[in-house]
């Protein structure tokens, strides 16, 4: 069937921003759940994907839409809550970011913080449109709660002093955004030209606790999706799918969580996955999703499906999934496809990376959480460090003893400085650490790329001093 404006897929929305600005709480508010309090220290540990049905979006924007009268045609919305680091925007599929639009959450009381600024630049570099939530508006002095109401209704009943504080904080945030080269305005004060300008950013005051402005941000995302992103969102039958996470689940064995952006995935499909040891072809034995408005991280009763239509997050059961790598594409072998072609396509991003590794086999090992993060890290080591840091081996996910053993060979090759693992946002179990000490391997860990680089540079300086 031809792709049309009448058949859009769900937009994939990512929530970003500095730690503690209220990203998880905001999502909780839309879902009417409480993940935030269940999280260890309130910090998001993994990526969660939540699917909101169209009827949920309609219900959650009903009051605002009495005046806006927006004709919502989207089939729903898929929202991703990210941990503070970069892995989500690094999840790409054939060169393009999987995320269609973003909410950048700013704590109105704190203004722009470090990770907010990093997220801002990341979104700009990738050309992802976004709205800024000026969150915690309820913390303005003497705020009168108007539970879950559209923000303009709530502002109308605030005392003058509260409004003064709000206006002054909002204009500070606007100035700080300006300093980062971003033009913005409170969204209902934007002119026609501002809406036409794709670089102009709407600001939406919100409270993730009392719910003011949540209707506004949802409706705004729907409007941006339908009016500006419809070309990108036209549903198509070609599978576009990426691995979010690989994990063992009690009773199910090793499973992979996938983000299916476009196309279909069906039980019984012959799927091709990318691993460091080469492609694997395996039958999809089960397709599970959480109930709508729940996310994959939460232990809820899974719903079994025969068929999934993108965009949706889905947990896949199958054999041999242990070594699948996060951030890599997934394809299905169709009746007219050559398996070998599909395998080559699934492996192509990784193959390209491996071709760039140090040819004399001398260099450090780099381990990252996803393929996209690994790409970013390797590019950084190659282009932004002087002299470039040679890399002889790469990996994705947890660091194992065997990885340590592998890179310890640099000690025998006469380049002990390369008996080093640069670990970006991956777990390092105690056995691996202990083994590293025994065989003289250093492991540097960080969640931010340039912190890793700083550690390694300092180490190299000490060596040559």
- DSSP H or E stretch at residue 105: strand 101-107
Q: Residue 276's beta-bridge partner residues?
A: none
Among 7, 20, 53, 153, binds ligand GDP (CB under 6 A): 20
DSSP single-letter state for residue 329: B
User: Looking at beta carbons only, is 45 or 351 nearer to ligand GDP?
Assistant: 45
Judged by CB under 6 A, does residue 24 bind ligand GDP? yes
Contacts of ligand GDP in 128-147 (CB under 6 A): 135-136, 138-139
Which residue is nearest to ligand GDP, using beta carbons?
22
Q: How is residue 295 annotated by DSSP?
A: B
| Partner whose footprint covers residue 314, from Mg ion, ligand GDP, none (CB < 5 to 8 Å by kind) | none
Q: Name which of residues 105 to 124 contact ligand GDP (CB under 6 A).
A: none
| Interaction residues for ligand GDP, span 234-273 (CB under 6 A) | none
Helices 23-31, 214-228: axis angle to 10 degrees equals 90
Q: Would you say 170 or 350 has its CB closer to ligand GDP?
A: 170
> Judged by CB under 6 A, does residue 23 bind ligand GDP?
yes
Residue whose CB is less far from ligand GDP, 103 or 316: 103
Residue 397 binds: one of ligand GDP, Mg ion, none (C-beta under 5 to 8 A by kind): none
Secondary structure, 3-state, 47-66: CEEEEEEHHHHHHHCHHHHH
Task: Report H helices in 307-370.
Answer: 339-355
Rounded to whole angstroms, the Cα distance separating 381 from 377 reads 6
Distance of closest approach, residue 45 Cβ to Mg ion, in angstroms: 9
Give exposure, 319-356, as e/b (b: 16+ Cβ within 10 Å). eebebbbbbbbbbbbeeeeeeeebbebbbebbeebeee
Q: Per residue in 282-298, is it b (16+ CB within 10 Å) or e — as a string?
A: bebeebbbbeebbbbbe
Under 8 Å between Cβ of 365 and 329: no
* Closer of 24 and 370 to ligand GDP (Cβ): 24
Stretch that binds ligand GDP, among 16-24, 216-224, 303-311, 370-378 (CB under 6 A): 16-24
User: In a 3-state reduction of DSSP, which class is residue 408?
Assistant: helix
Closest distance to ligand GDP from the beta carbon of 254 (Å):
28
Residue corresponding to tokens 């705004």: 220
Residue 240 touching Mg ion (CB under 5 A): no
Site for Mg ion in 62-121 (CB under 5 A): none
Residue 66 structure tokens? 């009495």
Single out the segment in contact with ligand GDP by CB under 6 A; choices: 175-183, 204-212, 298-306, 387-395: 204-212
289 binds, among ligand GDP, Mg ion, none (CB under 5 to 8 A by kind): none
Cβ–Cβ under 8 Å, residues 296 and 48: yes
Among 11, 22, 129, 213, interactor with ligand GDP by CB under 6 A: 22
CB of 382 to ligand GDP, least distance (A): 32
DSSP state of 349: H
Long-range contacts of 63-66 (CB under 8 A, 24+ apart): 63/148, 63/149, 63/150, 63/215, 64/150, 64/215, 64/216, 64/219, 65/219
Return the range that interacts with ligand GDP (CB under 6 A); candidates 178-186, 207-215, 245-253, 409-417. Answer: 207-215
Query: Tokens 């002095």 sit at which residue?
Result: 141
| Binding of Mg ion by 445 (CB under 5 A) | no
Q: Are 314 and 360 in contact (CB under 8 A)?
A: no
| CA 25/CA 43 separation, integer angstroms | 11
* Tokens coding 75: 């089939």
Q: According to the binding rule CB under 5 A, does residue 44 interact with Mg ion?
A: yes
**In this chain, which of 3, 19, 128, 390 binds ligand GDP, going by CB under 6 A?**
19
CA distance from start to end of the chain: 66
Does residue 209 bind ligand GDP (CB under 6 A)? yes
**36 near ligand GDP, rule: CB under 6 A:** yes
Q: Which is nearer to ligand GDP, 207 or 367 (CB)?
A: 207
Q: Is the Cβ of residue 81 or residue 349 nearer to Mg ion in the bound state?
A: 81
CB count, 10 Å around CB of 6? 9
Nearest-10 Cα torsion for 399, 402, 406, 411: 90
Phi, psi angle pair for 374, to nearest 5° = -65, -45
Nearer Cβ to ligand GDP (29/442): 29
Rank residues 207 and 240 by Cβ distance to ligand GDP and give the closer one.
207
Residues 4-43: x where in contact with Mg ion by CB under 5 A, - otherwise, as a string: -------------------xx-------------------
Choice from 21, 89, 149, 445 touching ligand GDP (CB under 6 A): 21
CB 357 to ligand GDP: min, Å: 36
Instruction: List contacts with ligand GDP (CB under 6 A).
Output: 17, 19-25, 36, 42, 44, 135-136, 138-139, 207-209
Instruction: List contacts with Mg ion (CB under 5 A).
Output: 23-24, 44
């Amino acid at each position: 069937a031809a792709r049309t404006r009448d058949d859009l897929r769900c937009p994939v929305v990512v929530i970003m921003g500095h730690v503690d600005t209220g990203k998880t709480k905001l999502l909780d508010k839309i879902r009417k759940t409480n993940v935030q309090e269940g999280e260890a220290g309130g910090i998001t540990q993994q990526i969660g994907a939540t699917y909101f049905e169209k009827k949920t979006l309609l219900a959650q924007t009903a009051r605002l839409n009495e005046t806006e009268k927006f004709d919502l045609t989207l089939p729903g919305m898929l929202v991703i809550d990210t941990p503070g680091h970069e892995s989500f925007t690094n999840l790409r599929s054939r060169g393009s970011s999987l995320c269609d639009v973003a909410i950048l959450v700013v704590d109105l009381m704190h203004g722009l913080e470090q990770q907010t600024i990093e997220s801002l630049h990341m979104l700009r570099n990738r050309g992802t449109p976004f709205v800024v939530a000026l969150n915690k508006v309820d913390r303005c002095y003497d705020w009168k709660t108007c539970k879950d109401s559209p923000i303009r209704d709530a502002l109308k009943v605030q005392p003058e002093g509260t409004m003064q504080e709000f206006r002054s904080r909002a204009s500070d945030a606007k100035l700080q955004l300006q300093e980062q080269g971003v033009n913005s305005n409170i969204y209902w004060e934007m002119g026609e030209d501002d809406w036409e300008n794709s670089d102009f950013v709407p600001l939406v005051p919100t409270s993730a606790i009392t719910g003011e402005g949540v209707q506004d941000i949802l409706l705004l995302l729907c409007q941006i999706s339908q009016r500006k992103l419809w070309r990108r969102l036209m549903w198509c039958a070609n599978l576009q799918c990426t691995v979010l996470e690989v994990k063992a689940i009690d009773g199910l064995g090793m499973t992979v969580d996938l983000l299916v952006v476009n196309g279909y995935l069906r039980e019984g499909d012959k799927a091709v996955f990318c691993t460091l040891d080469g492609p694997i072809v395996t039958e999809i034995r089960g397709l599970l999703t959480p109930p709508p408005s729940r996310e994959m991280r939460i232990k809820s009763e899974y719903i079994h499906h025969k068929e999934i239509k993108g965009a949706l997050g889905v947990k896949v059961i199958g054999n041999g999934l242990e070594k699948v790598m996060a951030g890599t594409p997934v394809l299905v072998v169709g009746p007219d496809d050559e398996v070998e072609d599909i395998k080559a396509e699934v492996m192509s991003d990784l193959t390209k990376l491996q071709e760039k590794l140090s040819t004399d086999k001398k260099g450090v090992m780099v381990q990252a959480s996803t393929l996209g993060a690994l790409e970013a890290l390797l590019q950084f080591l190659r282009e932004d460090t002087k002299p470039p840091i040679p890399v002889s081996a790469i990996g994705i996910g947890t660091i194992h003893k065997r990885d340590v053993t592998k890179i310890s060979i640099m000690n025998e090759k006469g380049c002990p400085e390369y008996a080093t693992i640069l670990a970006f946002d991956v777990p390092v179990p105690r056995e691996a650490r202990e083994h590293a000490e025994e065989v003289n391997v250093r492991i540097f860990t960080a969640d931010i790329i340039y912190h890793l680089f700083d550690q390694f540079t300092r180490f190299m300086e000490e060596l040559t001093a």
